[in-house]
């Protein structure tokens, strides 16, 4: 018994080892790692190097890219030590501020340059003052950025790994170099500003000019030509043959030359601007050529002109709710004091074109539309835009109406049978496996309700892995399907009905319920197995006769001689020539079996032959004498070393026969 | 006698093995029943997602349905057709991939987008190290949803995406480590690079994400990963597990399931009955013949 246990233990150990291997092999080659076990390390040279790049970009006056780069270095998401992050954040703020000021200074200096070139001596000094202020701020900011840079380098030092030391050192050197270039830029701006101030000083000696602008009307229609005129004078002297440019609301509309008396006049056509009520007209004079060294630039006072046009409106009669797939009419009328016939109306459903139409003579339009089924249900909008008509000076208009696309969700209820039995029907298939096709035909009844018409909806029924499709209409319905047999289909099973309506205004719907499936074959198998087990148990029950000897300790523990292996079992003795012992035992067993069968007295596993004799004698005394003699012979056959004679064998057979005979007679009576 | 005992022992060990395999929790990557760092059990439970072992189980009316797929196994043409139909009829398909078969789906769907297939590293904006790049540049719609950062785990990037479809980009400092040396080298593409894109396709929507690991248990709560997935995975959610590589343990579990299913068939059940009967009868017949032979031996003695 030790050997099998050892084998079992070995097997289990082997199995455990294999199991460990199998689980370890469970780790596939998916490219990812456990974040909690990942190694943490910083990259410190990268921010320093990129700050150096950003400062270099600033030094090259590429402020937009420098600003973008600094924005990218926003430190809150960076994987860096907190101390470094804090200084980086401060450095970022200062650098961003510096970039913004430098950019602004560039713009202001450009404006100064233009004003100076145009001899705009009224506006130039203000711009120069602004630029001077910016240069001072920039000087202060560069100092602060330098301090922050030193602090940043100081803070990063403790976290630099040996591997990164060289690259960090190179980045630091690059950053310091960039800061040097930035200081040079500051000097360059200072020089530029000084030059401009010097030039502005020179131009203050130019002759001042005056420009006037007049018009007859303070209002005009869109597209109407407006008469304007004025004079250009330099210290009381008219300036002849000089170009005057006319602007409407900052857009240059016309250019006209002055006459000999400095007078100019022209017609300005008001643009078709329907989105403004008023425009401002200005006249400008910019000295050109030799005039640049003689006269300053000037502009006229602005004149406000009220803009006139015919407002347009549109009235829409459109359904607020629509069903996809069903036609609906949209009507409308364009109202305007200008032209209303032939006006172009465009309709957009959300952002997609819906239709385009022209109005009739009375400004009406109508259109039948049908929304496709692909549209999602819910709130949508229809935008109607009427194009402006410049000929009649009629403005355009836009109006938006909301549209609710309706889709109904049918409500499905199922009334399945309480129980389904499997298999309900057997059909030969002619195949080797499975030899029979067995199914259960089930009928499911139910109801479908929808607030909108529903016809020929596709109903997909799924039960226990099987499915079938049929078509149902609104109201009551009945669906039949065949459920193929499988032993795994047993117990409560889900029934699912999916409804896919044909109408575009209906939404798909589904309903789920449960049904009890009783698998008769499964039950049959269970009964067979249980019966088999029962039979097996019964077959092995009479241990007293057919069981192993080791279950009869009293039988073997009181031997007159040492127990031999052969007597462990109670063999069915076979009469063989010269084998009287077997004949005796067979006769005894035959009698015992017969008593057991007739009287139900069992030779239990713990009983000796003598115990059995006592039990039989106490309840059936008529057998006592015969059975005592037979038991004596059987004991002798079992335990004695001496061979039994033929007479004893014959006697045993007679005694056994007597017992059976007596018993049978008693049964008959 | 020894053979009989050995047979019983082997049978016992086999049964133990089967039970252990059956009940031992799955350790496969992205497995829905795997609750360790690389599983997707949290995603399934928190999003109430339904795991799919076959794409054919997808609902026939995919409106208001999101399918999340991690294509680490090649798709059959039937599966590709199911995906195409799913998107065309209103479903929302979310493809999470880095080095798998995502491009096979994208090609079949006829979109220009592709997964780069090179490793995306970010030495500055990361979680712990450059293999966990963090992105914090999002489209206005995602930013308005409160998403500030999404953390990846050994990701790649997207290519061929129209700018208007890009909803998240890696940082300026990220790069594609094409030679896998962990450092940026001359010629390697630098950030910002698109990592998430959303595209309207047919009646449905296609979301392409350059790293499937954002939904594993160990990454789901990192940064705003959960919030982001909530934005793209809406309504009824299905997680496709049918295109994930199987571990030996998963394979063993699958074999056991197949055996169980086979035993549920007529052939299987009949076979089992016959086997039981044969073994029982053999045992009985064997015992009987043994008794007879012992009796004979005794007789001879």
How far is residue A376's CA from residue A527's CA, in Å, rounded to a whole number? Answer: 57
At A314 the pLDDT is 94
Judge contact between B130 and B121, C-beta under 8 A.
Answer: yes
Tell me which of A523 and A278 has the higher pLDDT.
Answer: A278
Nearest to A498 among B17, B60, B248 (CB): B60
**Distant-in-sequence, close-in-space partners of A645: CB < 8 Å, separation ≥ 6:** A580
Residue B252 forms contact with A (CB below 8 Å)? yes
Mean pLDDT of A117-141: 90
Whether A35 and B219 lie within 8 Å, measured CB to CB? yes
- pLDDT > 90? residue B251: no
Q: What are phi and psi of A437, to 5 degrees?
A: -105, 120
Q: Helix, strand, or coil here: A625?
A: helix
Judge contact between B100 and B70, C-beta under 8 A.
Answer: yes
Judge contact between B93 and B243, C-beta under 8 A.
Answer: no
Q: Which of the residues A32, A156, A374 would you substitute to probe the B interface, choosing the one with the greatest number of B C-beta atoms within 10 Å?
A: A32
**A513-537 pLDDT, tens digit each:** 888 877 777 777 778 778 877 776 6
How far is residue A381's CA from residue A478's CA, in Å, rounded to a whole number? Answer: 41
Nearest chain A alpha carbon to B2: A4
User: Lowest-pLDDT range, A226-235, A411-420, B287-296?
Assistant: B287-296
List the CATH code of the domain at A312-405: 2.60.40.10
The 3-class SS string of chain B reads CHHHHHHHHHHHHHHHHHHHHHHCCCCCCCCCCCCCCCCCHHHHHHCCCEEECCHHHCCCCCCCEEEEECCCCCCCHHHHHHHHHHHHCCCEEEEECCCCCHHHHHHHHCCCCEECCCEEECCCCEECEEEEEEECEECHHHHHCCCCCEECCCECCEECCCHHHEEEECCCCCEEECCCCCCCCCCCCECCCEEEEEEEECCEEEEEECCHHHHCCCCCCCECHHHHHHHHCCCEEEEECCCCCCCHHHHHHHHHHHHHHHHCCHHHHHHHHHHHHHHHHHHHHHHHHHHHHHHHHHHHC
Query: Which of A 294-333 lie inside 8 A of B, CB atoms?
Result: none
- A44 pLDDT band, cuts 50/70/90, is confident
A411-524: CATH topology is: Immunoglobulin-like (2.60.40)
CB atoms within 10 A of CB A610: 15
Q: Which of the residues A5, A7, A23, A26 would you substitute to probe the B interface, choosing the one with the greatest number of B C-beta atoms within 10 Å?
A: A26
Question: What DSSP designation does A623 have?
Answer: G
List b or e across A520-549, with b for residues whose CB sees 16 or more CB atoms inside 10 angstroms. ebbeebeeeeeeeeeeeeeeeebbbebbeb
Nearest chain A alpha carbon to B34: A26
The residue assigned the tokens 């005129």 is A229
List b or e across A40-67, with b for residues whose CB sees 16 or more CB atoms inside 10 angstroms. ebbbbbbbbbbbbbbbbbbbeeebeebb
Per DSSP, what are the bridge partners of residue A415?
Answer: A445
Q: Helix, strand, or coil here: A289?
A: helix
In chain B, where the domains are located: 41-247, 264-301
pLDDT over 70, % of chain A: 84
CB–CB contacts below 8 A, A to B: 188
CA-nearest of A594, A584, A549 to A570 is A549
CA A294 vs. chain centroid, Å, equals: 73
Mean pLDDT of A40-50: 88
How far is residue A12's CA from residue B118's CA, in Å, rounded to a whole number? Answer: 45
Mean pLDDT of A610-624: 83
CA-nearest of A569, A580, A555 to A653 is A580
Domains A312-405 and A411-524 share a fold: yes
The residue assigned the tokens 């950025």 is A145
Quote the mean pLDDT of chain A. Answer: 82
- A561 pLDDT band, cuts 50/70/90, is very low
- pLDDT > 70? residue A23: no
Question: What DSSP designation does A295 have?
Answer: B
Whether B299 and A574 lie within 8 Å, measured CB to CB? yes
CA A449 vs. chain centroid, Å, equals: 33
Question: What DSSP designation does A376 have?
Answer: P
How far is residue B117's CA from residue B226's CA, in Å, rounded to a whole number? Answer: 24
A322 to each of A373, A375, A410, B219, how far by Cα in Å?
A: 11, 11, 17, 46
Nearest to A569 among B136, B203, B291 (CB): B291
DSSP A520-575: HHHHHHHHHHHHHHHHHHHHH--HHHHSBGGG-HHHHHS-SSPPPGGGGB------
Q: How far is A521 from chain B (nearest CA, A)?
A: 9
Whether B264 and A487 lie within 8 Å, measured CB to CB? yes
Q: Which of the residues A31, A531, A570 would you substitute to probe the B interface, choosing the one with the greatest number of B C-beta atoms within 10 Å?
A: A31
How far is residue B83's CA from residue B59's CA, in Å, rounded to a whole number? Answer: 12
Judge contact between B163 and A76, C-beta under 8 A.
Answer: no
Judge contact between B83 and B105, C-beta under 8 A.
Answer: yes
Our CA dihedral for A585, A588, A589, A591, rounded to 10 degrees, sits at 160
The residue assigned the tokens 């890696």 is B170
**B207-247 pLDDT, tens digit each:** 999 999 999 999 999 999 999 999 999 888 999 999 988 77
Judge contact between A292 and A326, C-beta under 8 A.
Answer: no
A41 neighbourhood in chain B, CB within 8 Å: 128-129
Nearest to B29 among A3, A8, A28 (CB): A28
* HSE-up (13 A, CA, CB side) for residue A647: 0
In chain A, where the domains are located: 45-203, 209-308, 312-405, 411-524, 542-668
How far is residue A167's CA from residue A45's CA, in Å, rounded to a whole number? Answer: 6
Whether A4 and B28 lie within 8 Å, measured CB to CB? no
Q: Residue B84 has which token pair?
A: 């195409």
- pLDDT > 90? residue B285: no
* HSE-up (13 A, CA, CB side) for residue A10: 7
Q: How far is A659 from chain B (nearest CA, A)?
A: 24
List the CATH code of the domain at B41-247: 3.40.50
CB atoms within 10 A of CB B206: 23
Mean pLDDT of A655-666: 83
At A557 the pLDDT is 38
Judge contact between A405 and A373, C-beta under 8 A.
Answer: no
Which helix or strand (DSSP H or E) is residue A203 part of? helix A165-203
At B18 the pLDDT is 85
Q: Residue B121 has which token pair?
A: 């590293």
CB atoms within 10 A of CB B194: 25
Nearest to A40 among B128, B266, B276 (CB): B128
CA-nearest of B127, B103, B113, B145 to B232 is B145
Q: How far is B198 from chain A (nearest CA, A)?
A: 19
Tell me which of B199 and A417 has the higher pLDDT.
Answer: B199
Residue B248 forms contact with A (CB below 8 Å)? yes
CA-nearest of A472, A471, A474, A469 to A453 is A474
CA-nearest of A257, A228, A227, A259 to A244 is A257
Whether B273 and A546 lie within 8 Å, measured CB to CB? no
Nearest to A487 among B24, B265, B301 (CB): B265
Max mean pLDDT range (A41-50, A527-536, B12-21):
A41-50
- pLDDT > 80? residue A613: yes
**Distant-in-sequence, close-in-space partners of A420: CB < 8 Å, separation ≥ 6:** A440, A442, A463, A483, A515, A516, A517, A518
Q: Is A285 exposed, middle or buried (0-12, 13-18, 19+ CB in 10 A)?
A: buried
Query: Which of B 59-118 lie inside 8 A of A, CB atoms?
Result: 59-61, 63, 72, 98-99
A525 neighbourhood in chain B, CB within 8 Å: 269, 273
Start-to-end Cα distance in chain B: 23
CA-nearest of A311, A301, A298 to A262 is A298
Q: Residue A472 has which token pair?
A: 């149902």
Residue A4 forms contact with B (CB below 8 Å)? yes
A528 neighbourhood in chain B, CB within 8 Å: 273
- A550 pLDDT band, cuts 50/70/90, is very low
Beta strand segments in A127-277, E = 209-211, 214-215, 219-221, 225-234, 237-238, 243-248, 251-257, 263-269
pLDDT over 90, % of chain B: 50
How far is residue B132's CA from residue A350's CA, in Å, rounded to a whole number? Answer: 41
A124 to each of A297, A643, B84, how far by Cα in Å?
A: 11, 148, 66
The residue assigned the tokens 């208001």 is B64
- pLDDT > 60? residue B260: yes
**B176-214 pLDDT, tens digit each:** 998 888 888 888 999 899 999 999 988 899 999 999 999
A29 neighbourhood in chain B, CB within 8 Å: 245
Q: What is the ipTM of this complex?
A: 0.81
Residue B1 forms contact with A (CB below 8 Å)? no
Judge contact between A533 and A586, C-beta under 8 A.
Answer: no
Whether A4 and B222 lie within 8 Å, measured CB to CB? no
How far is residue A457's CA from residue A452's CA, in Å, rounded to a whole number? Answer: 13
- A571 pLDDT band, cuts 50/70/90, is very low
How far is residue B171's CA from residue A137's CA, in Å, rounded to a whole number? Answer: 32
Q: What are phi and psi of B49, to 5 degrees?
A: -85, 150
Mean pLDDT of A184-213: 90
List the CATH code of the domain at A209-308: 2.60.40.10
Tell me which of A481 and A483 has the higher pLDDT.
Answer: A481
**A125-135 pLDDT, tens digit each:** 899 999 999 99
B266 neighbourhood in chain A, CB within 8 Å: 433-434, 436, 438, 485-487, 521
- pLDDT > 70? residue A400: yes
Q: Residue A569 has which token pair?
A: 């079992």
Residue A11 forms contact with B (CB below 8 Å)? yes
CB atoms within 10 A of CB A427: 10
At B294 the pLDDT is 58
């Amino acid at each position: 018994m030790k050997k099998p246990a050892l084998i079992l233990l070995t097997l289990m150990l082997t199995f455990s080892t294999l199991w460990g291997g199998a689980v370890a092999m469970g780790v596939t080659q998916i490219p990812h790692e456990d974040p909690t076990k990942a190694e943490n390390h910083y990259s410190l040279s990268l921010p320093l190097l990129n700050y150096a790049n950003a400062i270099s970009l600033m030094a090259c006056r590429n402020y937009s890219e420098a600003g973008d780069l600094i924005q990218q270095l926003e430190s809150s998401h960076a994987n860096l030590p907190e101390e470094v992050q804090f200084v980086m954040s401060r450095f970022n703020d200062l650098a961003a501020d510096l970039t913004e000021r430098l950019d602004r200074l560039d713009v202001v200096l450009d404006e100064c340059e233009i004003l100076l070139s145009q001899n705009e001596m009224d506006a130039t000094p203000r711009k120069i003052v602004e630029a001077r202020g910016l240069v001072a701020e920039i000087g202060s900011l560069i100092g602060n950025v330098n301090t922050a840079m030193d602090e940043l380098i100081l803070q990063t030092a403790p976290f630099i790994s040996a591997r990164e030391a060289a690259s960090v050192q190179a980045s630091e050197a690059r950053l310091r170099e960039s800061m040097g270039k930035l200081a040079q830029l500051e000097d360059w701006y200072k020089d530029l500003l000084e030059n401009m101030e010097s030039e502005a000083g020179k131009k203050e000696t130019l002759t001042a000019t005056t420009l006037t602008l007049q018009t007859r009307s303070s209002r005009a229609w869109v597209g109407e030509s407006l008469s304007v005129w004025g004079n250009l004078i330099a210290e009381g002297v008219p300036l002849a043959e000089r170009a005057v440019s006319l602007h409407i609301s900052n857009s240059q509309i016309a250019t006209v030359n002055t006459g000999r008396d400095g007078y100019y006049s022209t017609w300005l056509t008001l643009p078709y601007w329907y989105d403004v009520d008023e425009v401002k007209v200005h006249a400008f004079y910019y000295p050109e050529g030799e005039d640049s060294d003689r006269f300053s630039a000037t502009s006229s006072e602005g004149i406000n002109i009220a803009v006139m046009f015919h407002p347009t409106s549109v009235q829409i009669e459109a359904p607020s709710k629509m069903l996809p797939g069903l036609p609906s009419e949209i009507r409308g009328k364009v109202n305007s004091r200008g032209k209303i016939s032939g006006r172009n109306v465009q309709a957009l459903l959300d952002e997609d074109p819906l239709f385009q139409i022209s109005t009739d003579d009375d400004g009406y339009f109508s259109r039948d539309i049908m929304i496709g089924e692909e549209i999602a249900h819910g709130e949508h909008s229809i935008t109607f835009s009427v194009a402006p008509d410049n000929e009649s000076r009629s403005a355009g208009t836009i109006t938006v109406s909301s549209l609710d696309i309706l889709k109904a969700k049918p409500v499905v209820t199922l009334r399945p049978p309480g129980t389904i039995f499997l298999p309900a029907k057997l059909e030969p298939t002619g195949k080797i496996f499975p030899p029979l096709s067995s199914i259960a035909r089930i009928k499911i009844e139910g109801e479908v309700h929808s607030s909108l018409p529903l016809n020929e909806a596709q109903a997909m029924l799924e039960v226990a892995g099987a499915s079938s499709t049929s078509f149902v209409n609104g109201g009551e319905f009945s669906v039949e399907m065949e459920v193929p047999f499988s032993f795994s289909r047993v117990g409560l099973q889900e029934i699912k009905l999916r409804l896919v309506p044909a109408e575009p205004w209906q939404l798909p719907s589904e309903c789920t319920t449960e049904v009890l499936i009783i698998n008769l074959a499964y039950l049959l198998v269970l009964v067979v197995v249980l019966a088999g087990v029962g039979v097996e148990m019964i077959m092995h029950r009479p241990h007293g006769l057919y069981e192993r000897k080791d279950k009869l300790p009293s039988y073997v523990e009181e031997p007159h001689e040492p127990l031999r292996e052969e007597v462990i079992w109670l063999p069915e003795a076979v009469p063989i020539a010269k084998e009287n012992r077997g004949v005796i035992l067979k006769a005894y067993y035959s009698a015992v079996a017969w008593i057991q069968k007739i009287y139900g007295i069992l030779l239990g596993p713990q009983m000796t032959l003598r115990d059995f004799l006592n039990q039989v004698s106490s309840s059936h005394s008529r057998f006592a004498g015969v059975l005592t003699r037979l038991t004596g012979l059987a004991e002798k056959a079992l335990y004695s070393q001496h061979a039994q004679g033929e007479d004893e064998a014959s006697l045993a057979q007679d005694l056994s026969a007597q017992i059976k005979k007596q018993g049978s007679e008693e049964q008959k009576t | 006698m020894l053979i009989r005992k050995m047979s019983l022992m082997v049978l016992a060990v086999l049964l133990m093995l089967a039970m252990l395999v059956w009940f031992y929790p799955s350790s496969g990557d992205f497995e829905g029943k795997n609750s360790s760092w690389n599983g997707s059990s949290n995603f399934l439970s928190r999003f109430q997602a339904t795991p799919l072992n076959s794409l054919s189980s997808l609902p026939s009316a995919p409106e208001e349905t999101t399918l999340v797929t991690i294509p680490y196994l090649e798709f059959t043409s039937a599966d590709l057709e199911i995906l195409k139909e799913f998107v065309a009829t209103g479903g929302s398909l979310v493809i999470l991939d880095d080095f798998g078969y995502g491009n096979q789906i994208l090609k079949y769907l006829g979109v220009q987008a592709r997964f780069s297939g090179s490793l995306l590293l970010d030495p500055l904006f990361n979680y712990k190290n450059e293999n966990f790049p963090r992105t914090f540049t999002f489209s206005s719609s995602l930013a308005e949803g409160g998403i500030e950062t999404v953390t990846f785990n050994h990701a790649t990037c997207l290519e061929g995406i129209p700018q208007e479809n890009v909803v998240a980009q890696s940082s300026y400092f990220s790069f594609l480590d094409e030679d896998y040396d962990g450092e940026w080298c001359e010629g390697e593409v630098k950030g910002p690079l698109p990592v998430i894109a959303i595209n309207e396709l047919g009646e449905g929507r296609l979301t392409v994400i350059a790293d499937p690991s954002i939904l594993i248990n160990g990454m789901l709560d990192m940064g705003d990963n959960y919030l982001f997935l909530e934005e793209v995975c809406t309504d009824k959610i299905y997680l496709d597990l049918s295109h994930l590589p199987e571990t030996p343990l998963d394979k063993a579990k699958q074999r056991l399931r197949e055996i169980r299913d086979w035993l549920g068939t007529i052939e299987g059940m009949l076979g089992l009955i016959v086997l039981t009967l044969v073994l029982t009868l053999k045992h009985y017949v064997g015992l009987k013949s043994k008794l007879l032979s012992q009796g004979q031996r005794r007789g001879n003695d």
